[in-house]
Structure 1
Amino acid sequence: MRVGDTVRKALKLLRLLPEPLFRRGLAHGVAAAVEHRAALAGLAPATVIDVGAHRGQFSLLAAALFPDAAIHALEPQPEAADAYARLFAGNPRVRLHRVAAAERAGEAVLHLARRSDCSSLLPIGAGQLRFAPDSAPAGTRSVPVATLDGLFPADTIARPCLLKLDVQGGELAALRGAGRLLGAVDHVYAELSFRPLYDGQPLAHELVAHLAAQGFGLAGVGVATRDAAGACVQADLLFRQVASGRVEGGRVDGGSG
């Protein structure tokens, strides 16, 4: 481990220890994603949908920041989902859905990575192996997939709603399966990539364009991840619903006139 990584881990630990909920996470081997705290400052969602929840890193942060919010988490990997369930056992505000988000419901092949939070519905590409060598392929497994529209009818979502997406290149497919739900979403916080890491992965400009067509504008920048040369490879971007009209099927839906 590089000295810089050791220092970052030590600094993060110091940020985690004062919060009882974060200490519970550490006891379960889960470090809350406190690096996203600043990007979410000022939000007060009644519902958080955590797509790509893994072991609960983001959900822990959301539970601390938004103590009255209902949290729905999606995680298809059994081992990670089991860890998530243990971490939030007894918490009535948190519900775990053991599925991956996709454009259509059914079954799909999950490409497993040696570092499980890098697993994806897309094949792990050469770009990812260069960027994160510890995410080498570790086999495949079939997992259930669902659309966000199918899981969360828009008229059942308490607002404001925050939709978080971190699914290793599958963000656009998840959004395409959320055409109706997005009408009830106030903020989207998504990890976008500026270079292909997974085979067939849509890049940042495609997700920005899709969200713009759905009435969302860029509202903030969260964590940026850089390669060894200092170039930005990924960033977590915050989008806010800014328009009631949305482009759907080639026409604007929801406008007046």
Structure 2
Amino acid sequence: MSLITNTLRSLAPHVLIEQHRRKFQMGRLGLPGSKAIAEAVATCRFDLWPPALRQPGQPWTLLDVGANTGEFTRAVSSLIALAGVHAFEPQPSCHTELKQALAGLSNSHLHPVAVGAEAGEIELLCTANSKLASVLKPTANVADGYGGGDFNVQQHLKVPLVRLDDVIPAGTPIGLLKIDVQGYELPVLEGARETLRSTAALLMEVNYVPHYEGGATFDDLCEAVRAHGFRTFGISAPYGGPKGPLWADALFVRAD
């Protein structure tokens, strides 16, 4: 019997278990059990969403702050119908793919800007891994919990800075505001006071250990969202390093 055949036979039980687990999880969410759907669920943390956001036939607007290449928006739009999308991404290197992700989505807008507490201009530190770019400098030891040189700063760019309240029309019904800005969440929230009043849920990456100099921690964000009228709804399993948990995704909903 060939080595390939033996290997396939040894993997078969694991494949069947994974398929059963995926089918069970998707069934609980009322979704087909395909691999593509399961990947979309994981990408946008669909399992953390409150049921009201998952209801078919009730489109809402998505705000994707730190949209990168549009992976998150793609996942969301493959699972539900959206009334509109506002995607904010200051890195020019991401815009071609992000435009492709938005193509075909009704009422979609790409804003090639950073988001913060005031309008103006700010320096963006572009890292080897574009998902880790930030207006804040990575801490000296952050790379210890990750592989490769993902946090290496390769370019400094001056980019426009806007407030969400100056871009999103007041009263726009926002179903989900996703913020992935690598430690700069507090200024984003500060510049979105009016927008948050009509937002149902917030999804943010929360850091358990400092990743960026002056960046918000999990405790900082929990305190801030409570002040804006939100409460914790669910938190994903953490991404861990050699010394313990590093970060997770947290979903917050309006306290009322």
Q: TM-score range by the shorter chain?
A: 0.7 to 0.9
Normalising by structure 1, we get a TM-score of: 0.78
What root-mean-square deviation, in Å, do the aligned CA atoms of Structure 1 and Structure 2 show?
Answer: 2.3
After TM superposition, the runs of 4+ consecutive aligned structure 1 residues lying more than 3 A away are 14-19
Letter in 1 for 2:159: V
- Following the alignment from structure 2 to structure 1, what is the Cα–Cα distance between the partners of residues 105 and 194? 28
Is the CA contact (8 Å cut-off) linking 1:47 and 1:69 kept in structure 2?
Answer: yes
Tell me the residue number matched to 2:228: 214
1:136 maps to 2:144: no
Structure 1 position 139, deviation (Å): 2.1
Is the CA contact (8 Å cut-off) linking 2:83 and 2:106 kept in structure 1?
Answer: no
1:87 to 1:202, Cα distance in 2 relative to 1, 3 A:
closer
Is the CA contact (8 Å cut-off) linking 1:109 and 1:140 kept in structure 2?
Answer: yes
2:49 to 40, 57, 63: 40
Q: How many residues align?
A: 219
Q: Percent identity?
A: 30
Letter in 1 for 2:182: Q
Tell me the residue number matched to 1:62: 76
1:123 to 112, 122, 137: 137
Structure 1 position 17, deviation (Å): 5.5
Gaps of 5+ in 1: 1-10, 23-30, 244-257
The one-character-per-residue Cα deviations of 1:25-65 (angstroms, maximum 9, x if unpaired) are xxxxxx85734231226224611101110001110111122
Larger Rg: 2
The one-character-per-residue Cα deviations of 1:136-176 (angstroms, maximum 9, x if unpaired) are 11121111110111111322x135x2111111111111001
Gaps of 5+ in 2: 1-17, 23-32
For the residue of structure 1 that corresponds to 2:216, the secondary structure is coil
1:114 to 125, 128, 139: 128
For the residue of structure 2 that corresponds to 1:126, the secondary structure is coil
- Following the alignment from structure 2 to structure 1, what is the Cα–Cα distance between the partners of residues 79 and 136? 32
1:16 to 1:88, Cα distance in 2 relative to 1, 3 A:
farther
1:167 to 1:223, Cα distance in 2 relative to 1, 3 A:
farther
Is the CA contact (8 Å cut-off) linking 1:168 and 1:198 kept in structure 2?
Answer: yes
Tell me the residue number matched to 2:5: none
Normalising by structure 2, we get a TM-score of: 0.78
Is the CA contact (8 Å cut-off) linking 2:123 and 2:156 kept in structure 1?
Answer: yes
1:139 to 1:154, Cα distance in 2 relative to 1, 3 A:
same
